[in-house]
Structure 1
């Protein structure tokens, strides 16, 4: 069949088919459709589910995880992994609670946490690039270090009573119609917007994608591969610090056992959001969509009322397996 005989409808159909079978766009579209299907299905089954506030609560309850997934997206796009993010969230909360208890001003505490977690990310990045340590091992060591430091600070929970943290944690901004959000949501969306700009409008973002597509090719293209490989772990550390602060706003306490396994939730959100584990393909907005899928599953289980919270892990595990298989299928077809 020649191009002249192909109808507009056939061209549109072929274009949609190519989009859905693309390893770049296919998984993200599937995630979007899945989220809409679950949300509509929940609305059909439960009263008061299909409302704006239920949707906004997905952001309110998962603001810290959105920020965590943003940092993880940078790392996975380069073909790396960061297992330390959950422990760094806990360390950030413990540092915040402890420093505030001793009378440090809230802005100084926040700056100290972000600087500390970024330095930890820098050390991990240097280990990976200059000493050729596998990302799995380097970030596993950082995870044990951060979790151990939590217990050095305190072995029990520390309450946060600082007026600034309390205000940022409990204040809700009305959007009209009985809907509201917290400051954590605004901060998380600001981080997402900054990450989208970096990945799609800067040389650093192009280099991140190039490393995932082929590190040697990036070097031959004259891109700053070495600097960017280290930088993505600094970004992940910074985002972990921000996520830890947002989680402290949410709980108004620091606890050494906080966020155990959260690194796996962040990885799952990024993969379900369409980022390939081997790197090179993925979007920050896809990772946000992945977080929303995890959140809507938790919300469905809460509305059901008869299911254990462990069912969340079961459904997430099944989804993760399906999306990894989907990625393998789409990348194999491209070859």
Structure 2
């Protein structure tokens, strides 16, 4: 019976998410067949455009499994992009040291927020709300104008294509074969995703994260170090925010104040659509990946359709979010009755 509960509650939400993505993509193949939706590059673009969000959603999933939340991630992404642009273009710093500095900045950010949440027991929403305002304000202080990144090494990273010749190619009007491709940012995002999955699934620390989110009092009674676990989760999340910001900057090659506004809500929505419970204790980073892909597929639909406003993406995501929250509530009530 316990095994059946586990399948019904945890895996069923993930299955629904995967099936929803497959149905949506199949619909796109049918509706936009004449516009080239079936090309492998269209699917690969879902990963290219959302590499940063995949990384951030993975970190958000960890935080939400503990029963926490982090609404500062969008502002940290903006701060990361601005710091990279400012250090390389205004201060003449190299791309590598600039990257190291922003990654350390993310760790420090996560350390401070994690300490306030885990050891001072301040509500995660309040702490990360303050973090959101602080990071966005600091971004504006660095520069209120957009700074374009022109550093040669950084642009080389941004433009480095990895051709996937095994998927075949298309011949353009000039007779040149164009192969499907991805960027290194996609490889980094997938490595992070697999790494977090292994961490959560196969390590003692990962099991502790689930235990803390499932029932913090029980975790304490089992002798688990709840405060240290929460602190480390926010530190890892801070690092992933800066890494995701770096991947985001590879796509935009610029830093500006309004960058990644609302990114935190996209990460939370992706995690929830992927089956992560808002109450903690349940979550899977691959579910969050499919949540990101669903969001990317909706954006692709709007692009191929050509006349719809981009705001329809947010409207559709809001509807899906409400649907999955209702599902979570129904499963929770069914479990209580049982």
TM-score (norm: length of structure 2)? 0.92
| In structure 2, C-alpha distance between the alignment counterparts of 1:184 and 1:66, rounded to whole Å | 10
Which residue number corresponds to residue 59 of structure 2? 71
Distance 1:283 1:152, change over 3 A: same
| In structure 2, C-alpha distance between the alignment counterparts of 1:91 and 1:229, rounded to whole Å | 24
Which residue number corresponds to residue 40 of structure 1? 26
| In structure 2, C-alpha distance between the alignment counterparts of 1:33 and 1:239, rounded to whole Å | 28
Task: Indicate yes or no: 2:98 matched with 1:97.
Answer: no
Moved more, 310-319 or 173-182: 173-182
Distance 1:288 1:119, change over 3 A: same
CA deviation profile, 1:149-203 (whole Å, cap 9, x unmatched):
0011100100101112101111111011121100110110111111111111211
Which residue number corresponds to residue 155 of structure 1? 144
Which residue number corresponds to residue 3 of structure 1? none
Which residue number corresponds to residue 11 of structure 1? none
Q: CA deviation at 1:235?
A: 1.3
CA deviation profile, 1:279-306 (whole Å, cap 9, x unmatched):
1111011101110011001111111111
CA deviation profile, 1:112-142 (whole Å, cap 9, x unmatched):
1011111111101111122221100000000
CA contact (8 A) 1:19 1:25 kept: no
> Unpaired runs of 5+ in structure 2?
169-178
Which residue number corresponds to residue 128 of structure 2? 139
Q: Which of 36, 39, 54 is equivalent to 1:51?
A: 39
Q: CA deviation at 1:15?
A: 12
Task: Indicate yes or no: 2:104 matched with 1:115.
Answer: yes
Distance 1:25 1:77, change over 3 A: same
Which residue number corresponds to residue 285 of structure 1? 286
| In structure 2, C-alpha distance between the alignment counterparts of 1:205 and 1:267, rounded to whole Å | 20
Which residue number corresponds to residue 320 of structure 1? 321
Q: Which runs of 4+ in 1 moved over 2 A?
A: 18-21
CA contact (8 A) 1:39 1:50 kept: no
> Unpaired runs of 5+ in structure 1?
1-13
Which residue number corresponds to residue 259 of structure 1? 260
Task: Indicate yes or no: 2:117 matched with 1:128.
Answer: yes
SS at match of 1:22: helix
RMSD: 1.6
